[in-house]
Amino acid sequence: MKLLKNNKLRIGYIYAIAISLFLIAAVLGILLGATEFKFSDLLTVIQKIDSDSPQAKILWFVRLPRVLASLLCGAALAVSGAIIQGVLANRLASPSIIGVNAGAGLAVTLCSAFGIAGGWRLSLFAFFGAFATVMTVSFGAKKWGASRGTVILMGVAMNSLLGAISAAVITFVPNVSIMNNDFKIGDFSGVTYIKLIPAALIIIISIIILYTLSNELDVLTLGDENAKGLGMNTGMMRTLFLMLAAALAGAAVSIAGLLSFVGLLVPHAVRRIAANEAHHLIPLCALFGAGFVTLCDTFARIVFAPYELPVGIIMAFLGVPFFLFILNKGKGGHGRA
Partner 1 sequence: MLEIKNIRGGYFKKEVLHSVSLGAHAGQVTAILGPNGCGKSTLLKSICGILPVISGQVLLNGENLLALSQNQIAQKIAYLSQSKQIPDITVKRLILHGRFPYLSYPRRYRQEDFLAVKKVMEQMKIMELAEIPLNQLSGGQQQKAYIAMALAQDTSIILLDEPTTYLDISHQLQILQQVRELANSGKYIIMVIHDLAYALETADQIVLMQEGLVVMQGTPEKIYETGILDKIFDIKMARVHIDKQWHYFCAKK
Residues forming the site for partner 1 (CB under 8 A): 3-4, 7, 89, 212-213, 215-216, 218-219, 221-223, 225-226, 228-233, 271, 275-277, 336-337
CB of 225 to partner 1, least distance (A): 4
CB of 247 to partner 1, least distance (A): 18
Nearer to partner 1, 28 or 275 (CB): 275
CB of 115 to partner 1, least distance (A): 41
Nearer to partner 1, 117 or 222 (CB): 222
CB of 3 to partner 1, least distance (A): 5
CB of 209 to partner 1, least distance (A): 9
Nearer to partner 1, 3 or 49 (CB): 3
Nearer to partner 1, 169 or 219 (CB): 219
Closest CA to 259 of 317, 324, 315: 315
CB of 144 to partner 1, least distance (A): 14
Nearer to partner 1, 79 or 124 (CB): 79
CB of 282 to partner 1, least distance (A): 13
CB of 80 to partner 1, least distance (A): 19
**Mapped to the 3 state alphabet, what secondary structure does the chain carry?**
CHHHHHHHHHHHHHHHHHHHHHHHHHHHHHHCCCCCCCHHHHHHHHHCCCCCCHHHHHHHHHHHHHHHHHHHHHHHHHHHHHHHHHHCCCCCCCCCCCCHHHHHHHHHHHHHHCCCCCHHHHHHHHHHHHHHHHHHHHHHHHHCCCCHHHHHHHHHHHHHHHHHHHHHHHHHCHHHHHHHHHHHHCCCCCCCHHHHHHHHHHHHHHHHHHHHCHHHHHHHCCCHHHHHHCCCCHHHHHHHHHHHHHHHHHHHHHHHCCCCCHHHHHHHHHHHHCCCCHHHHHHHHHHHHHHHHHHHHHHHHHCCCCCCCCHHHHHHHHHHHHHHHHHHHCCHHHCCC
Nearer to partner 1, 53 or 233 (CB): 233
Nearer to partner 1, 188 or 288 (CB): 288
Distance CA 313, CA 157 (A): 23
Nearer to partner 1, 41 or 224 (CB): 224
